[in-house]
Structure 1
Amino acid sequence: MDWFRRLLKAREGSVIAISALALVSLLGMTGLAVEIGNGFAAKVRNQRVADVAALAAAIAYKTSQLLAVAQNTANDVVVANGLSITPIVSQVSVGGVDGIQVSITTAVPIRIASVLTSAASYNVTTIAVASLLTTNTTGCITALSNSSTAVSASGGASISASGCALVTNGTIVSDNSSAKVTAKSITAQAINDPAAAYNQNAVTTTPTARNWTLKANGASDFVKPNTAAQTALCYVNKLTGYSDPDYAGGNTGCTSPLVVPAALSNNSTTDWSTGYTPRNQGGISNYENSDYSCTYTIPAGTYTIRDLSIGGGCSVVFATGSTLTFRNLNMSGQALTFGDGDIGITGTFTVNGNTIVTMGNGAHSFGTLAIGGGKFLQMGSGNFLVVGGINVSGGAWLKVGTSTNDTVTIGNDGAGNAIVVGGGSKVCFTSDCSTPTAAAGTFSANGSVNVQGGGSLVVFPKSILHVINGDLIATAGVIFGSGLYIIKGNFQNTTGSGSDSMNGVDVTFAMGGTLNFAGGSQFDLAAPSTSNGYGIQDILFLTKTTSGTSISAGAVGKASGLIYAPYSNFSSSGGSSISSNGSACMMLVVNTITVTGSGTVNTAGCSSQAPGATTGTVRLLQ
C-alpha cells in the first residue's frame, strides 16, 4: 500500500483529480448550451408553423363559424409542415379583438446534457393568434339590446349598412328571403335566417361573405363619453327635470339656456284712434296730412300711448328715430310703417284687414302677436321679444330680419304654445323666407312650436343655440337654420313634399321626447360634418327617451349624422324610408331596430367613415 500513500501525498495527483472533475463540469455546460440552442431552433420552427396554422384556422372559422372546422384546418397545416402532433385551437380575445389561437407543443430530446439530468427531453410551446376582425366593434348601425329580436326585418323590408358594420348585443332576425339585412360586417349574439336553409340568404355581408362574429356583448354605447352630447342632454334635463343615471349627478349640473321674457308695462292713459277727421282735433289728428285724409305722418320723438286703433282705409307712418310704447295696437287700416327705432307693445298687437305693416331696424317687443286674414308684418334687424305667444293664420305672414348678435325670445299663449302657424301662413326669423340668416344670440321659445296645414312655413334663424320648451310639431314646411336645438318634448313631423318638406343643414336636435316622422312627410336634415360652431359634429338627434322612435306611413327622408336613442326602439314601416344623403353618413345607436312591410333603413353613405367596418381579412395579433 506504500505506492497508494505516496500517490495521495503527491502534488501531481491533486492536479489530475481536479482536472478530471473540471472536465465533467465543462462537458455539462457545453451540453446545456447545445440543448438550449436546439430548443430555440425548435421554437422558431414551431412559431412559423403556428402562425400559418392560426391564419388558416381563422379564415376557416370566419367562413364556417365552427371551431371544429378551424381545428381540422390547423391539424392539416401542422402535418403538412412535418410535425406529427395535434395543435390546440381555441377562440380568444386580445385587446378587445376576437381571434383564433393555435398552440403547438413539441418535445426536444436531451443528448449531450444528459450528464446533468435524467430527463430524456423537454417541451417547447409556441402560441399564435389570428384576428377575426381588424377593427373595433362599433358600427354605423348599433342595436344595444340583447333580445332575440334586437335587429328585425320582415315582409319586404330592408336594412342596409353595406359600407360599414352592423353591431348588436342581441339576435339579427329576418323572417323570409325578401326581408334583407346587409352590412360590410356583422357582430351579433346570434343570426336567425330561416331562408339560409334554402340557399336564399336574407342576412348577408358584402363584399366578403359571412364576414361576421357571433358573440355576446359585442355592441357598446360609444356616444355616451362625448362631452358635447352630454352637455346638450344636460340642457334637456334642465327643462324636463330628468336625472340621467348614465352620468354622475344625473347630468343636471349645467345652467338652463331657456330665457323667459318678463311682462312689459305701460302706464299711459292716452289713446289714439284714426279716422276721417279734420286736422288739429287733438291726439293723432294733429299729425294728419290733410283734413279728412286719414293719412298720418308722426315725426321722430318719444311716444307712450295706451291704445292705438287704426281704422279701415287709414295709413300711418312713424318717422325714423322714434321710441314708441303702446299697450294695445289694433291695425285694421290700409298701411302702417315704422322707421328705425325701438318699439314696445305691452299688450296685444293685432293685424287685420288687407294690409302690410313694416318696421325698421331696432328692438321690437310685444305682449302677444296675432296676425290673420292675409295680413303682413315685416320688421328689420334687432332683438325680438314676445311675452305671450305668436299666432299667425289665414295666409298671413311674419318676417323678422334677424341678424348677427340679435336674440329671439318668445313666451307662450297660456296654453303652452309659443308659436302657432296655420292656414298657409308663414313665420320667418330671416330677412326672407328661404335662406336662414345668422343670429349669434339665443333663440328661446317658452312653449311648443306648431306648424299646421299645407302651405304653412316656419324658418328658424341660424343660432348657436335654439331652445323650445315644449314639442315641435310640423304638418307643414320647416326650414331649420344651423345650430343646436334643445327640445323639451317630442319632435313630430308629418309634413308633405315640396314646400311642405322639412330641411336643415348643420343642425343637431337634443330632445326629451321621441322622434316621429309619418304621414308622407319628406325631410332632408344634416348634422355638421366639421366642428364649425353650429350643432355637434356628426350628431343629428339625441334623446334618452324610452318611447319608440318611428319612421312610418310613407315618410321618406335623408338624414346625415348620428341618430342616438339608446333606450328607444327604432322602427320603419308602411313604405317609409330613411337613408344617408349622398356621400354623407347616417348612423343609428338605438335599443332595437324593427323594419316591416317595405320599410327601408339605408346607411350607404358611411363607407368613408365605417367606424366598425372590416376588411374581410385576418391578421396576426400575437
Structure 2
Amino acid sequence: MKEPQTSSARRFLVRFRDDGRASVNTIVALSLPVVIGAVGLAFDLNRGYGQRVMNQRVADMAALATAMEYQRDDAIDIDAVAGMIAVANGLQGASVDATLLTDYPEAGDSAIEVTVSRPIPFMLASVLGFSGSYTVSADSAAIVSSTAQYAAPCFLALDAGGASLVVNGGASINAPNCSVAAIGDLDQKGQSIAASDIISGSGSITLNSGSLVANTLRYGGSLNVPQWNSALPPAKDRHNVATALADPWASNTELGAAVAQIGDADPLPALSDPVTPNGKDFDFSSSPNAAAAPYRVGSGKNYVLPAGTYNIKKFSVGGDIHVTFASGSVITISGGFANGGGSTVDFGDSDVYVKGGFDTGSGGVTIGDGVLWIGSGTASFKGTNTKGDGDVVINGDVALGGGHYLTMGAGDHAFKSLTLGGGGNMLLGDGDLTVLEGIKINGNSELNAGDGEYNIGASKQGYAIKLEGSARLFMGDGAFSAHGDIDTQGGSGIVFGETNNHYIKGDLKIAGSAFFGPGRYTIDGDFENGTGGTTWPQTSTLNGEQYGAAGAGYDMAGRDVSFIASGTLKLAGGAKTKLLAASKSVLGGEIATLLFHSDTTSKASWTGGSNNVFGGAVHLPGTEVSMTGGNSTNGGGTCFMLIAGKIKAAGGAVAGSACVSSDGSSSGSGKTAVKLVK
C-alpha cells in the first residue's frame, strides 16, 4: 500500500529545514538593520510632517498679523514683524521670511507672503546612512490691498498701436473719479493727466513732461519716465499688468438699430395744381368790367360779393380798391390773381383755388377759414397777409421780403419752396409743414411754425434749410425729416421741436445758435458747430413765445438728445455748447447716456476756442479726435465720456469729466479686508 502524497511532502520540508537552518539565520540577521532603518525613516518623516503642520499654522498667523500691520503703516519691517509672531507662537530655531507681493492674487492687488522654514535632524534614519537634517517649509499669503476693480474709463482710446492717447503742449485731461485709458500707448507730453486710474491696456505709458496724477498706473508694456520727473504715483501704485479694455457700446443692439436708420426719412408728397373751371375775367377797379361791376358799392372803391361759387379767369384789382367776399363762398381763379397798390381783398371764410400766379400787392390779402390752394408759378405775399384755419397748398415758390408778413392758422401747410428775406416774416399755426425744395431765410426774417409733422425737401443747391444773417426758424414739436443739408450762419437761430427721431439726409452745420428739442437726431452726414450766434433764450417777434430757457447762456443747447451720424463731429469757433444725453431710453428715440455716435474714420477736429459741455457718451470708435486751439470740453458737473479710436489733446485744450465709477470698489479708495489668499 502506497503512502499518501501529503506525507512525502511533509518529510521533504522537514529535511530541507534541517539541512538549511544556518543559511536562513544568516539572511534574517542581515535584514534586521534594514527593517530598523525603514522604521526609523518613517519616524523621522512623521516628525517632519508634524513640524510642517506647525509651520503652516505659524505662517498663516504671521501673514495675517504682518498684513494688518503693513496696512496700518507701510514703512514697517515686515521680516521683523513676521519673526516676532513666529516666536510668540512657540516656534524656535526657524527661518521666517516675509515678502511684499505685487499684482497678487490678481492684477493690481498686493499681499504679504510669509515663508517659515525649520531644519529637522535625522535620528533613527541614521541606521540607513542618513545624516544631518532636512528642511520643512510652509508659506502663506494675506491680501493687503485690492485694486482689481479699477474705475471705469471716461476717456478711452480704442486703437491698439502707438500714440493711442496723447496729451501735448499746455493741454490737460482731468477725470478724478474715473479712468483715462488707451488700449495702445498712452503718452503724456502736456500739462497734466489726472484720473482715478491711468491705463494702457496692452501698451506703454510714457511721461515726458507734466504730471500723471492717479491712484494707480496700469500698463501692459513698459513705463517710460525721465529721471528728473517724479510727478507720478509711487512705485507701489504702478502695476505692470495687461488690462482688458473693451468698447462698452460695441455690441449694443439699441445703437445698432439706430445706425441702421441713417439715411431714412419720410417720403415727400407730390404737389399738384388745383382744378379751376373756365370763367370770366373780373376787373375790380375804378372802371370795372361787366363781370365785376354788379358788385360795386355805388360809385366808390368798395366791392362786396355775396356767398356763392365764383369761377374767375383773371382776377385783377386796381389801385386803392377794396374787395370783400362773404363767408361760405367757393372761389376758383384760373388766370392768376393780381392786387393793385394800396388795395385790399378779403376772401372771407371761403375755399380759394388759384392757378396762374398769386400777387397780393402792397396791401396784402385776408383769407378766413377754409382751403387755400395755389398752383404752380410764383406766389408773392406783400404787405400784411392773414389766413385763418384750414389746409394750404401752394405749388409754387413763396417769397416774403421787405418787412412783409404772412400769418396762417391751424392746418396742414405745403409749399414748393419758401424764401424769407429783408424782414419778411411767416407765422404758421399747428399742422404739418411740407416744403418740397427747401427753406431759405435771411436778413432778420423769421419763420415760426407750430406743432405738426415737418417734411423738408432739398433745394437745387442741396440744402433743406438755410439760415443766413440774423434769420430765425422756430419749429414746434412733431416728426421731422430733412432731405438735404441744414446750414445756419452766424447770428441766426434755429429751434428743433421734440419728436422721437429727427431724420436729416445731409450735413447738420450750425454756425448760429441752435436749440435741440428732446429726441434722436439721425444725420446722414457731418455734425458741425461753428462760430456761434445769439445765446439762448430767445423770444419770437411773431408770437411772443420764449424758446431755449433750458440752454440759457449757450449758443447751441439741447437736453435728452442723441445724435447718430454717418459723418464726424466738428467743433470750432467760439461757440458755447451744452448738450445732455437722456438718462432713460425712449423706444425709437433718444438712447440713454449716448450723446453722439458715428462709425466714420474721418478725423474729428475740436478747435478754435469752442467751449463744450457734454453730458453722456461721445462714441467715435473709428475716429481720431483732436482737441486743439483752446478747445474746452467737459461734463459741466455731469458724466462726459469720450470713446474714440485715438484721442489727442494739444495747444491749451482742456478736457474733463465728472463721471463717478459705478464700481463700488474703485481703485485706490478705501481699505481692503485682510484675508488669507494662499
Tell me if TM exceeds 0.5. Answer: yes
Residues 48 and 136, structure 2, Cα contact 8 Å, conserved in 1: no
1:384 is matched with 433
CA distance in 2, matches of 1:470, 1:612: 45
Q: Give CA deviations for 1:243-279 in whole Å, capped at 9, x if unaligned.
A: xxxxxxxxxxxxxx42131321225457999986659
1:614 aligns with 2:640: no
Task: Say which SS state the counterpart of residue 652 (structure 2) adopts.
Answer: coil
CA distance in 1, matches of 2:665, 2:276: 70
1:220 is matched with 246
Which stretch shows the higher mean deviation, 148-157 or 528-537?
A: 528-537
Question: Of 198, 201, 218, which residue of structure 2 is paired with 1:186?
Answer: 198
Quick one: higher RCO (CA 8 Å, sep 6+), 1 or 2?
Answer: 1
1:234 aligns with 2:260: yes
CA distance in 2, matches of 1:552, 1:220: 28
Task: Say which SS state the counterpart of residue 108 (structure 2) adopts.
Answer: strand
2:324 is matched with 289
1:496 is matched with 532
Which stretch shows the higher mean deviation, 80-89 or 179-188?
A: 80-89
Task: Say which SS state the counterpart of residue 463 (structure 1) adopts.
Answer: coil
Residues 336 and 358, structure 1, Cα contact 8 Å, conserved in 2: yes
2:8 is matched with none
Q: Give CA deviations for 1:189-246 in whole Å, capped at 9, x if unaligned.
A: 32323567576555x56xx99855444454321122333222222323xx3xxxxxxx
Question: Of 253, 261, 286, which residue of structure 1 is paired with 2:268?
Answer: 261
CA distance in 2, matches of 1:334, 1:599: 51
Task: Say which SS state the counterpart of residue 414 (structure 1) adopts.
Answer: coil
Q: Structure 2 unaligned runs (5+)?
A: 1-41, 87-93, 211-224, 293-309, 326-338, 536-553
Residues 381 and 406, structure 2, Cα contact 8 Å, conserved in 1: no
1:445 is matched with 482
Task: Say which SS state the counterpart of residue 59 (structure 2) adopts.
Answer: helix
Q: Displacement, 1:148?
A: 3.7
Task: Say which SS state the counterpart of residue 229 (structure 1) adopts.
Answer: helix
Residues 159 and 646, structure 2, Cα contact 8 Å, conserved in 1: yes
2:216 is matched with none
Task: Report the residue type matching 2:623 in the other structure.
Answer: S
Which stretch shows the higher mean deviation, 273-282 or 591-600?
A: 273-282
Question: Of 406, 419, 426, which residue of structure 1 is paired with 2:465?
Answer: 419
Residues 58 and 132, structure 1, Cα contact 8 Å, conserved in 2: no
Residues 411 and 430, structure 2, Cα contact 8 Å, conserved in 1: yes
Q: Displacement, 1:313?
A: 1.9
1:306 is matched with 355
Q: Please list, as runs of the form range in 1=range in 2, the aligned pairs for 1:238-249 lying within 5 A after superposition.
A: 239=263
After superposition, the Cα gap between the structure-2 partners of 1:128 and 1:418, relative to the gap in structure 1 and judged at 3 Å, is same
Q: Please list, as runs of the form range in 1=range in 2, the aligned pairs for 1:58-97 lying within 5 A after superposition.
A: 78-79=82-83, 81-82=85-86, 84-86=95-97, 92=103, 97=107
Residues 567 and 590, structure 1, Cα contact 8 Å, conserved in 2: yes
CA distance in 2, matches of 1:273, 1:607: 76
Q: Displacement, 1:101?
A: 5.9
Q: Give CA deviations for 1:337-361 in whole Å, capped at 9, x if unaligned.
A: 1111111122322223321101111
Task: Say which SS state the counterpart of residue 261 (structure 2) adopts.
Answer: helix
Q: Displacement, 1:503?
A: 1.1
Q: Please list, as runs of the form range in 1=range in 2, the aligned pairs for 1:26-425 lying within 5 A after superposition.
A: 42-51=55-64, 78-79=82-83, 81-82=85-86, 84-86=95-97, 92=103, 97-100=107-110, 106=116, 124-128=138-142, 132-136=146-150, 138-175=152-189, 179-188=191-200, 189-194=204-209, 197=226, 201=230, 204=232, 211=237, 213-236=239-262, 239=263, 257-268=264-275, 278=288, 281=292, 283=312, 284=315, 288-289=323-324, 294-322=343-371, 324-402=373-451, 406-425=452-471
Task: Say which SS state the counterpart of residue 379 (structure 2) adopts.
Answer: strand
CA RMSD of aligned residues (A): 4.4
After superposition, the Cα gap between the structure-2 partners of 1:173 and 1:263, relative to the gap in structure 1 and judged at 3 Å, is same
1:567 aligns with 2:599: no
Compute the TM-score of the two structures, normalised by the length of structure 2: 0.70
Task: Report the residue type matching 1:450 in the other structure.
Answer: D
CA distance in 1, matches of 2:578, 2:395: 39
Task: Report the residue type matching 1:184 in the other structure.
Answer: S
CA distance in 1, matches of 2:433, 2:104: 59
Q: Displacement, 1:450?
A: 0.2
CA distance in 1, matches of 2:121, 2:353: 111
Residues 482 and 506, structure 1, Cα contact 8 Å, conserved in 2: yes
CA distance in 2, matches of 1:134, 1:274: 90
Q: Please list, as runs of the form range in 1=range in 2, the aligned pairs for 1:469-618 lying within 5 A after superposition.
A: 469-496=505-532, 498-499=534-535, 501-531=555-585, 535-582=590-637, 584-603=638-657, 605-607=658-660, 613-616=666-669
CA distance in 1, matches of 2:529, 2:283: 44
Task: Report the residue type matching 1:453 in the other structure.
Answer: G
CA distance in 2, matches of 1:331, 1:494: 34
Residues 57 and 100, structure 1, Cα contact 8 Å, conserved in 2: no
After superposition, the Cα gap between the structure-2 partners of 1:265 and 1:120, relative to the gap in structure 1 and judged at 3 Å, is same
Task: Report the residue type matching 1:561 in the other structure.
Answer: G
CA distance in 2, matches of 1:146, 1:193: 20
Residues 95 and 116, structure 2, Cα contact 8 Å, conserved in 1: no
2:474 is matched with 428
1:245 is matched with none
Which stretch shows the higher mean deviation, 99-108 or 503-512?
A: 99-108
Which stretch shows the higher mean deviation, 526-535 or 100-109?
A: 100-109
Q: Displacement, 1:422?
A: 0.6
Task: Report the residue type matching 1:84 in the other structure.
Answer: S
CA distance in 1, matches of 2:251, 2:150: 16
Q: Displacement, 1:420?
A: 0.7
CA distance in 1, matches of 2:580, 2:283: 50
After superposition, the Cα gap between the structure-2 partners of 1:407 and 1:332, relative to the gap in structure 1 and judged at 3 Å, is closer
Task: Say which SS state the counterpart of residue 431 (structure 2) adopts.
Answer: coil
Q: Displacement, 1:466?
A: 0.8
Residues 274 and 314, structure 1, Cα contact 8 Å, conserved in 2: no
Task: Say which SS state the counterpart of residue 232 (structure 1) adopts.
Answer: helix
Q: Structure 1 unaligned runs (5+)?
A: 1-28, 64-69, 240-256, 431-437
After superposition, the Cα gap between the structure-2 partners of 1:79 and 1:31, relative to the gap in structure 1 and judged at 3 Å, is closer
Task: Say which SS state the counterpart of residue 368 (structure 1) adopts.
Answer: strand
2:331 is matched with none
Compute the TM-score of the two structures, normalised by the length of structure 1: 0.76
Q: Displacement, 1:565?
A: 1.1
Residues 493 and 534, structure 2, Cα contact 8 Å, conserved in 1: no
| Number of aligned residue pairs | 551
Residues 543 and 564, structure 1, Cα contact 8 Å, conserved in 2: yes
CA distance in 2, matches of 1:588, 1:214: 25
After superposition, the Cα gap between the structure-2 partners of 1:616 and 1:373, relative to the gap in structure 1 and judged at 3 Å, is same
Question: Of 485, 495, 502, which residue of structure 2 is paired with 1:466?
Answer: 502
CA distance in 2, matches of 1:113, 1:260: 100
Task: Report the residue type matching 1:227 in the other structure.
Answer: T
Task: Report the residue type matching 1:408 in the other structure.
Answer: Y
Residues 186 and 213, structure 1, Cα contact 8 Å, conserved in 2: no
Task: Report the residue type matching 2:463 in the other structure.
Answer: N
After superposition, the Cα gap between the structure-2 partners of 1:35 and 1:480, relative to the gap in structure 1 and judged at 3 Å, is same
Residues 147 and 171, structure 1, Cα contact 8 Å, conserved in 2: yes
After superposition, the Cα gap between the structure-2 partners of 1:92 and 1:155, relative to the gap in structure 1 and judged at 3 Å, is closer
Which stretch shows the higher mean deviation, 213-222 or 520-529?
A: 213-222
CA distance in 1, matches of 2:101, 2:373: 83
